[in-house]
Amino acid sequence: MTEIIKEWFDRLYADTGLNFSVFRDAFDAQRFLEGVLTTLEMSAICLALSLAIGVLGAAVQGVRFRPLAWLVDAYIQFFRNTPSVIQLYFFFFGLGPLFTSTNEFGQAVPLVSSYTWAVICFSIYAGAFNVEIFRSGIEAISPATVDAAQALGYTRLGTYVHVVLPLALRISFPALSNNMVNLVKLTSVAYAIAVPDILYASSQIWSDSLNVAEIMNVVLFSYVLIVSVFVWGAGLLERRLRVPGMGV
Amino acid sequence: MSTHSVAAPASASDDFIIQCRDVRKSFKGVEVLKGMSLDVRKGDVVCIIGPSGSGKSTFLRCLNGLVPVDGGTVVAAGHAVHDPGVDKLALRRRVGMVFQQYNLFPHRTVLQNVMMAPVHVLRQKRAEVERRARALIRKVRLHGKEDAYPGELSGGQQQRVAIARSLAMNPDVMLFDEVTAALDPETVGEVLVTIKELAAEGMTCILVTHEMGFAREVADCIYFTDGGLIVESGPPAAFFSQPKDPRTRAFLERVL
Amino acid sequence: MTRESPSPRRPAPRPSAGWARGAFLAMALLALLALWHAGASAARPAPAGAPSIAAILWDWTPAILKGFAANVGISLASALFATVLGTFVGIGQLSLHRPVRWLCWLFTHLFRNAPWLVLLFYCMLLLPFQVRVGAWVVPIPDWVKAVAGISIAAAANMSEIVRGAIQSIPTGQWESAASLAFSRTQALWMIVLPQCVKRMLPPWMNLYALIMVSTPLCAIVGVSEIMTVAADILAANARHDLLMPVYLYLLVLFFLYCYPIAVLTRRLERKFAIAG
């Protein structure tokens, strides 16, 4: 299979001079594939983490101790109204040097890799949006439902976990999936700190082989493909989760 | 299903302003209109009554081309509405429509709502249109509300503005689609009075309505629809006192 | 969903008065300041006699503000083009002509599914650096290409906003316009779009904030703006304890610009939700 593809693109190169080296050269192909895997892996981890942050943050916003809720608010407002690339630089260049250990030569060695910082930063960024989304989902649940749950004997925590959360998830799903799609697109910003994702791997390929136009199109196409698959999957999930009679 | 013949008293001189023959319409495979035929003379007031879902509103919308027909012919004010190439804009200048939900333009005042179409569609002079618009607003008894926005008016007032807005185009025929169905009982009266005055001035009116009292009092001819067909028709006196078809009887028993 | 007074077990709704927000805003800045201090002291100590971090930042502030002005300029230009282009593409998505509809749908979904940085790269690397118009050779500066990249990405968002707003206008408006013999174009521009403006305003302001927050990406593709100034500062001083304060400074600057926009957006949203 790969042989056929390679031959086709070799012929294309011979005929037109369009060098899609990603399909022709084994080394380039491997770099690109690793980039794709890195992007997918980053997306998956950030998705999960940001969801967890969202659920936790929304829960904290409902506690009786108001200063804690205000703290969550401050976190949300700060991360929503500042650029994610500067946040990334802040984490990697600003906080990075604080987490070092010394190796046998006495030099400082970073404990946290650029990949990890990227994951942390993007999860926190997307998490801020998720808290807002969950909060409005929770607020859309009528107090009568909560009262009914508590009348049945659920504790506050039990109500949150078994009644409020599942409902809030379904109500806020469209906004949530939109945010998740944005998160997948956001992972490309990790290029700024040299994380080997699709964009970074491709930039290395095109600076080696000088085929910017072709590779750039491959990058665009790959991202659009990945994101489209996510959008389609989210649509499927939304249809399965839909509660008849609720929402639009 | 057999239909009784259309009972409009036929006169040789045909100033039939609306003629429909065997109108058919389906939505998504479901046939809503199964062959309706209707004749309306100039100056007549026609009321179409019937149970929900019998196709009354759809039929009305076929008369001014809002809903294209699948079969049959519709001739309204000299335009062949069933023809896909009909000049819809010319048709709608002759046939006006008032809706159940009034559908006033919320971002414009009452006066602007009434003036908009003649100025922008008919390209008439602003001063002349304004004069006529104010007269119409006075006629529907909303003098003083010219600069109010629709959101500030009651349902009945909004509906009267909607009527004035349609009248501003000087149509030959006015279509009313259940215009009082969304109103409080107190305000229904003021709208019906307006329509009654319009009819008395000689305007051809076709109403889809549930207001039996109004129909009995003002209509020249009543059509009863059921299941996409016109089941029975006739002048109100005969229609209400001696309905011929059992379906008509059943319906009248329910609503009267 | 409307509800009666909140049940006693549920805490009262968060106060919407500006004071509460100002309070946690101050708390937030204080927390950051503390973080900065911790970072400054935990990192390797400054060489003896070196100027304080605050002094350095103060000296560089004019340059930083000039860089920030470049960001604002890029964001305004991008917002302008994105709004115009996006409006037409959004309207085109609802056109009665299938090719127009399909083309606009393609534009919207292609550029919404691509990351903004990738689109920036695309425009940067693949748009020509100069254009021949007749006898003249017009150079296209980098920032123009960056604006093009951001505009295209944002226009796709704008297209969805416009389409959503148009589709949210009740069909009754279209029907009554049609029955008054308005043509479809007249109905769109005179009756439907004016009503859309109000409901498009909050999402549009969100989009502007998004554009503004994306402008630092331009530095990655070589446009000089605030990030390049930051790089200059760090290069000029070569101090490791300067890294965090500098980026914190930039973050606070963006926050001070974008937060009022967010507050205004929320206020507008609430106002329009009530007025309807």
The span from the CA of B77 to the CA of B69, in Å, is 17
- Determine the pLDDT at residue C208: 95
Sign of CA dihedral B104, B108, B109, B113: negative
Instruction: Say whether residue C228 is in contact with chain B using an 8 A CB cutoff.
Output: no
User: Which of C104, C100, C115 has its CA nearest to residue C160?
Assistant: C104
pLDDT of B10 over the 50 cut? no
CB A25 within 8 A of CB A2: no
Residue where the block lists tokens 């950030």: A46
Helix axes C243-275, A66-80, angle to 10 degrees: 100
- Determine the pLDDT at residue A137: 87
- Could you give the 3-state DSSP secondary structure of residue A130? helix
- Determine the pLDDT at residue B23: 93
DSSP state of A161: I
pLDDT of A226 over the 50 cut? yes
pLDDT of C120 over the 60 cut? yes
pLDDT of C115 over the 90 cut? yes
Instruction: Say whether residue A87 is in contact with chain C using an 8 A CB cutoff.
Output: yes
Establish if C5 belongs to a structural domain: no
Establish if C98 belongs to a structural domain: yes
Where is C237: in which H helix or E strand? helix C226-237
Burial class (CB in 10 A: 0-12, 13-18, 19+), B29: exposed
Chain C residues in contact with B107 by the CB 8 A cut-off are: 194-195
- Determine the pLDDT at residue A177: 87
Contacts of C20 (CB under 8 A, 6+ apart): A70, C14
Stretch A109-123: mean pLDDT: 90
Task: Give B185's pLDDT tier (boundaries 50, 70, 90).
Answer: confident
Establish if C1 belongs to a structural domain: no
Q: Do B121 and C180 touch (CB under 8 A)?
A: yes
Q: Which residue in chain C is spatially nearest to A62 when comparing CA positions?
A: C11
Q: Which residue in chain A is spatially nearest to C234 when comparing CA positions?
A: A93
The span from the CA of A178 to the CA of A170, in Å, is 13
Instruction: Say whether residue B34 is in contact with chain C using an 8 A CB cutoff.
Output: no
Instruction: Say whether residue C259 is in contact with chain A using an 8 A CB cutoff.
Output: yes
Chain C residues in contact with A46 by the CB 8 A cut-off are: none
- Determine the pLDDT at residue B191: 93
* Mutation choice for C interface testing from A91, A185, A193 by most C CBs within 10 A: A185
pLDDT of A132 over the 60 cut? yes
How many structural domains are present in chain C? Answer: 1
- For chain B, list the contacting chains (3+ Cβ pairs, <8 Å): C
- Mean pLDDT, chain B, rounded, equals 88
- Determine the pLDDT at residue A152: 78
The span from the CA of B174 to the CA of C56, in Å, is 78
DSSP H stretches of helix in chain B: 56-63, 88-94, 110-120, 126-139, 155-167, 185-200, 212-218, 236-241, 246-255
pLDDT of C15 over the 80 cut? no
Domains of chain A: 41-207 (1.10.3720.10)
Q: Which residue in chain C is spatially nearest to B114 when comparing CA positions?
A: C180
- Determine the pLDDT at residue C10: 42
What distance in Å separates residue B107's CA from the closest CA in chain C?
Answer: 7
C touches B, CB cut-off 8 Å, minimum 3 pairs: yes
Instruction: Say whether residue C65 is in contact with chain A using an 8 A CB cutoff.
Output: no
* pLDDT tens digit sequence for A50-92: 999 998 998 888 788 888 888 888 888 889 999 999 999 999 9
Stretch C173-197: mean pLDDT: 92
What distance in Å separates residue A4's CA from the closest CA in chain C?
Answer: 28
* Beta-bridge mates of residue C130: C139
Structure tokens at B170: 């000087």
Q: Which residue in chain A is spatially nearest to C43 when comparing CA positions?
A: A98
Q: Do A142 and C217 touch (CB under 8 A)?
A: no
Q: Do C6 and A231 touch (CB under 8 A)?
A: no
Q: Do C217 and A95 touch (CB under 8 A)?
A: no
pLDDT of B136 over the 70 cut? yes
Interface of C with A in 217-246 (CB under 8 A): 217, 220, 227, 240, 243-244
Q: Do B99 and C172 touch (CB under 8 A)?
A: yes
- Phi, psi angles (nearest 5°) of residue A64: -75, -25
A touches C, CB cut-off 8 Å, minimum 3 pairs: yes
Q: Do A77 and C259 touch (CB under 8 A)?
A: yes
* Mutation choice for C interface testing from B95, B120, B124, B152 by most C CBs within 10 A: B120
Instruction: Say whether residue C172 is in contact with chain A using an 8 A CB cutoff.
Output: no
Sign of CA dihedral C67, C71, C72, C76: positive
What distance in Å separates residue C182's CA from the closest CA in chain B?
Answer: 6
Q: Do B121 and C186 touch (CB under 8 A)?
A: yes
pTM, two decimals, is 0.80
- Determine the pLDDT at residue C161: 92
Predicted-complex ipTM score: 0.87
B touches A, CB cut-off 8 Å, minimum 3 pairs: no
- Could you give the 3-state DSSP secondary structure of residue C144? helix
What distance in Å separates residue A156's CA from the closest CA in chain C?
Answer: 9
Chain A residues in contact with C64 by the CB 8 A cut-off are: none
Instruction: Say whether residue B116 is in contact with chain C using an 8 A CB cutoff.
Output: yes
Burial class (CB in 10 A: 0-12, 13-18, 19+), A65: exposed
Q: Which long-range contacts (CB under 8 A, 24 or more apart) does B27-32 make?
A: B31/B228, B32/B58, B32/B228
The span from the CA of C161 to the CA of C180, in Å, is 28
Q: Give the HSE-up count for residue C187: Cα atoms under 13 Å, Cβ half-sphere.
A: 19
Mode of pairing for the β-strands spanning C130-133 and C136-139? antiparallel
Task: Give B151's pLDDT tier (boundaries 50, 70, 90).
Answer: confident
Q: What percent of chain B has pLDDT over 90?
A: 54
Establish if C39 belongs to a structural domain: no
Chain C residues in contact with B120 by the CB 8 A cut-off are: 182, 186, 190
In single-letter form, the type of residue at position A222 comes to S
Stretch C141-153: mean pLDDT: 93
The span from the CA of C214 to the CA of C219, in Å, is 10
Contacts of C47 (CB under 8 A, 6+ apart): C239
Q: What is the 3-state composition of chain A as percent helix, strand, coil, each rounded to the nearest 5?
A: 80, 0, 20
Structure tokens at C247: 């980026």
DSSP H stretches of helix in A61-113: 66-80, 84-89
Task: Give A46's pLDDT tier (boundaries 50, 70, 90).
Answer: very high
* pLDDT tens digit sequence for C203-254: 899 999 999 999 999 999 889 899 999 988 888 887 777 888 888 889 989 9
Structure tokens at A27: 């080394």
CA C125 to each of CA A129, C33, C71: distance values in angstroms, whole numbers, following the listed order = 32, 40, 20
Instruction: Say whether residue A234 is in contact with chain C using an 8 A CB cutoff.
Output: no
User: Which of B85, B84, B81 has its CA nearest to residue B73?
Assistant: B81
Instruction: Say whether residue A216 is in contact with chain C using an 8 A CB cutoff.
Output: yes
* pLDDT tens digit sequence for B29-75: 899 999 999 999 999 999 999 988 888 989 998 998 888 999 999 99
- Please report, for the domain that includes residue C230, its CATH number: 1.10.3720.10
Q: Do B116 and C173 touch (CB under 8 A)?
A: no
Q: Do C251 and A82 touch (CB under 8 A)?
A: yes
> Following DSSP, what letter does each residue of C56-69 receive, concatenated?
HHHHHHHHHHHHHH
Helix H, strand E, coil C: the string for C181-229 is CCCHHHHHHHHHHHHHHHHHHHHHHHHHHHHHHHCCHHHHCCCCCHHHH
Specify the higher pLDDT residue, C25 or C47: C25
pLDDT of C14 over the 50 cut? no
Establish if C19 belongs to a structural domain: no
pLDDT of A18 over the 90 cut? no
Instruction: Measure CA C63 to chain center.
Output: 23
CB pairs under 8 A between A and C: 148
* pLDDT tens digit sequence for B70-117: 999 999 988 999 888 888 888 888 999 998 888 888 888 999 999 988
Q: Do B107 and C176 touch (CB under 8 A)?
A: no
Question: Among C25, C213, C251, whose Cβ lies nearest the Cβ of A90?
Answer: C251
Segments forming the whole domain that contains residue C171: 55-275
Q: Do C172 and B101 touch (CB under 8 A)?
A: yes
* Mutation choice for B interface testing from C179, C192, C201 by most B CBs within 10 A: C179
CB A137 within 8 A of CB A194: no
Lowest mean pLDDT among A98-102, A244-248, C156-160, C204-208: A244-248
Chain A residues in contact with C1 by the CB 8 A cut-off are: 140, 142
Stretch C193-206: mean pLDDT: 90
- Determine the pLDDT at residue B13: 41
Question: Among C181, C182, C195, whose Cβ lies nearest the Cβ of B107?
Answer: C195
What distance in Å separates residue B249's CA from the closest CA in chain C?
Answer: 34
- Determine the pLDDT at residue C275: 58
Structure tokens at A145: 């439902």
Task: Give C5's pLDDT tier (boundaries 50, 70, 90).
Answer: very low
Q: Do B103 and C175 touch (CB under 8 A)?
A: yes
Establish if C197 belongs to a structural domain: yes
